[in-house]
Amino acid sequence: MTDLPFTTIETVDAVFLYIFGISGLLLLGITATMVVFVIRYHHRRHPQPQPSPSSKLWLELVWTLIPTLIVLSMFWYSWEGYLKLSDVPPDALKVQAEGRKWSWSFNYENGRSSDRLYVPVGRAVRVEITSKDVLHSLYIPAFRVKKDAVPGITTYVWFRAPEAGSFDLFCAEYCGVSHSSMITTVEVLPQEQFDAWLKQGKKAAPVEGPALLTRHGCSGCHSVDG
């Protein structure tokens, strides 16, 4: 959807490509210089001492100032992106996310809860993150967002999904033996479908047994198929 406003994807990708591009050019330049020096100044036997070249102030200034400017440009570009990622749109949908060994719980303002994160397409979503037990980290690669879940502290990320679909959500902080099983999905729905899902509220809650299974993360160690 090209008519959508800013999303987190463009900012993170732009910073990555900028730093990666500069790093690639530097790698090529350094590698080429090394090859030239190895070939030109290689002596197989009985090397003769060579006089040390005299220093040149302008050259020393150049190789000091240019790397400094490059690093500062990386910082500025990254800082601009960080500010955008920290500025949550005022109309963002708020969702409470709680990590526990070894599952996620997502709670909405009307009381609806789910082990998957349901969001509407094209709307900003603010996810407020905490943990019930140990350190976790909410990571959604498709939307370039990652934030630690810390017991007793609420952190947040926001994103805007540009298209409908199902996207992976991982825990990116080692949290115990079933860390690799702490996986769920972000379900991005058209606004009408999301509204219908959200209006179901607590009426759509599962029966007590499965609800407790989800709430306490039992599926991290146990199966329900015997």
- Summarize pLDDT for 35-45 with one digit per residue, the tens: 998 888 777 66
More confident residue, 226 or 214: 214
Residue from 128, 118, 169 nearest 150 by CA: 128
More confident residue, 212 or 29: 29
In this prediction, residue 221 carries a pLDDT of: 64
In this prediction, residue 136 carries a pLDDT of: 94
Q: Which domains does the chain have, with CATH numbers?
A: 8-42+56-86 (no CATH), 93-220 (2.60.40.420)
DSSP secondary structure letter of residue 120: E
Predicted TM-score (pTM) of this structure:
0.72
Residue from 154, 46, 162 nearest 97 by CA: 154
What whole-number distance in Å separates Cα of residue 109 and Cα of residue 127? 12
Given a cut of 90, whether residue 21 has pLDDT beyond it is yes
What whole-number distance in Å separates Cα of residue 130 and Cα of residue 158? 14
pLDDT above 90 as % of the chain = 48
- What strands, in cross-sheet order, belong to the sheet with 165-171? 117-120, 183-189, 165-171, 136-140, 145-149
Given a cut of 60, whether residue 224 has pLDDT beyond it is no
Residue 162, classified by CB atoms within 10 Å of its CB into exposed (0-12), middle (13-18) or buried (19+), is: middle
Residue 211 parent element (H or E): helix 208-215
Residue from 64, 63, 71 nearest 33 by CA: 63
